[in-house]
Amino acid sequence: MNILFLSHYFPPEVNAPASRTYDHCRQWVKDGHTVTVVTCVPNHPRGQVYEGYRNRLFQREEREGIKVIRLWTYVTANEGFLKRTLNYVSYMTSVMAAIPWMPKADVVISTSPQFFNGLAGYFVSRMKRIPWILEIRDLWPESILVVGAIKNRLIIRTLERLEHFAYRKAERIVPVTEAFKRYMVGLGIPASKIEVIKNGVDLNFYRPLEGENPVLAELGLQGKFVASYFGTHGMAHHLETVLQAAHELRDQKDILFLLVGDGAERNRLLKMRDDMGLENVIMLGQQPKQRMPYLWALSNVSMVLLKHSELFKSVIPSKIFESMAMQTPIILGVEGESREIVNTAGAGFCIDPEDSHALAARILDLHRHPEFCKNFGASGRRHVAENYDRVMLARRYESIMSLLSAPSD
């Protein structure tokens, strides 16, 4: 089968959509399929083109058997609604212009957000006359409305109409949560065309570390109990909660907070940390993917947080699965489906979103009771191996494509 995959993000970018796309595509190549990913020059999240790349109209490369086409886009940092929208629309426009030069395919997948990336799949499918699978990793525009990024009602109504159009026209929709499926069914989309494939994890890459951890000494964290947050520092994550918990535990000299990542809120959070005089908080920028297992391994607990919102009850942060794979206990400040997963796995504690006092209390519980950490870690690894192995999920995805691309009788 020839698979065409449209993704705004792809390695060497290290965010969750890049990892999901790469892991699935790599497995499909291993299983004998031809996979072409159409993406843009790597620049997330700073809007700076990575070293070794140039923002050209059209360029090709290959990564572990995956054929990669990179198209020109308007490059900007992951902040500011207008500039980001121009970035997204420029990608869709470049995709449409490049369709004649794309390889023959049996199916096209496009992933959203970014929404215009998702919508680009419609134009490719119609011009190439192939089935279209629309992957939904987040509800858009709902997710940006929650954080107040758009207030203009005309823009909101236009985006909502485009969202409904995409749901109707796709031959199959692959959301990452059951809650997303319920939302779409509520809009009148037939349940039969929706197949949930949740996020997962590469269990060979994310596994408990054997031997010494060089990053531990590098960061000077020997003898520290480390509570870590890995991922985007954005409006949706309300990382003030971490800083407030760190302030509450500032006299616990052997407890340290580690935040790793980048995003629109990082500079403000750095200033907030410094203004609060928090010497127990280390903030590192975005790290190479190969370094992440070492950072997970030195963490005694991972914090998975979102701001309080009804919409975020439908979200499952992908770092939950990485944490479980690394046998790192979780403190989850997210409601809904995420909480069900952590509780079912027995992988950690759940708190209310934005509750810094509960976050501080649970960190103290884990610090004082190492057996909790051990039990949560072992249970989480076992659960993720049984239910969220990326290889297993990629093959479920493959079965959907095979059914769509099979010739009709």
pLDDT band at 367 (very low <50, low <70, confident <90, very high): very high
For residue 407, what pLDDT is reported? 66
pLDDT at 102 over 80: yes
pLDDT band at 83 (very low <50, low <70, confident <90, very high): confident
Higher pLDDT, 309 or 54: 54
pLDDT at 143 over 70: no
214-387: CATH class: alpha beta
Task: Summarize pLDDT for 13-27 with one digit per residue, the tens.
Answer: 988 899 999 999 999
For residue 113, what pLDDT is reported? 81
Q: What is the mean pLDDT of residues 329-338?
A: 96
Q: What is the mean pLDDT of residues 239-245?
A: 98
Q: What is the mean pLDDT of residues 135-146?
A: 73
Q: Domain 2-200+389-405 falls in which CATH fold?
A: Rossmann fold (3.40.50)
Task: Summarize pLDDT for 243-259 with one digit per residue, the tens.
Answer: 999 999 999 999 999 99
pLDDT band at 33 (very low <50, low <70, confident <90, very high): very high
Percent of the chain with pLDDT over 90: 81
Task: Summarize pLDDT for 169-227 with one digit per residue, the tens.
Answer: 999 999 999 999 999 999 999 999 999 999 999 999 999 998 889 999 999 999 999 99
For residue 36, what pLDDT is reported? 98
Q: Which residue, 135, 148, 119, 144, is CA-closest to 180?
A: 135
Q: What is the mean pLDDT of residues 379-390?
A: 97
For residue 84, what pLDDT is reported? 82
For residue 150, what pLDDT is reported? 58
pLDDT band at 141 (very low <50, low <70, confident <90, very high): low
pLDDT at 149 over 60: no
Percent of the chain with pLDDT over 70: 95
pLDDT band at 145 (very low <50, low <70, confident <90, very high): low
Q: What is the mean pLDDT of residues 60-70?
A: 97
Where in the chain do CATH 3.40.50.2000 domains reside?
2-200+389-405, 214-387
Rg (CA), the chain: 21
Q: What is the mean pLDDT of residues 52-80?
A: 93
pTM of the predicted protein model: 0.89
For residue 44, what pLDDT is reported? 87
Q: What is the mean pLDDT of residues 148-168?
A: 77
Task: Summarize pLDDT for 259-286 with one digit per residue, the tens.
Answer: 999 988 999 999 999 999 999 999 999 9
For residue 405, what pLDDT is reported? 81
Q: What is the mean pLDDT of residues 114-141?
A: 91
For residue 376, what pLDDT is reported? 98
For residue 309, what pLDDT is reported? 86
For residue 320, what pLDDT is reported? 97
For residue 157, what pLDDT is reported? 78
Q: What is the mean pLDDT of residues 391-408?
A: 90
For residue 41, what pLDDT is reported? 97
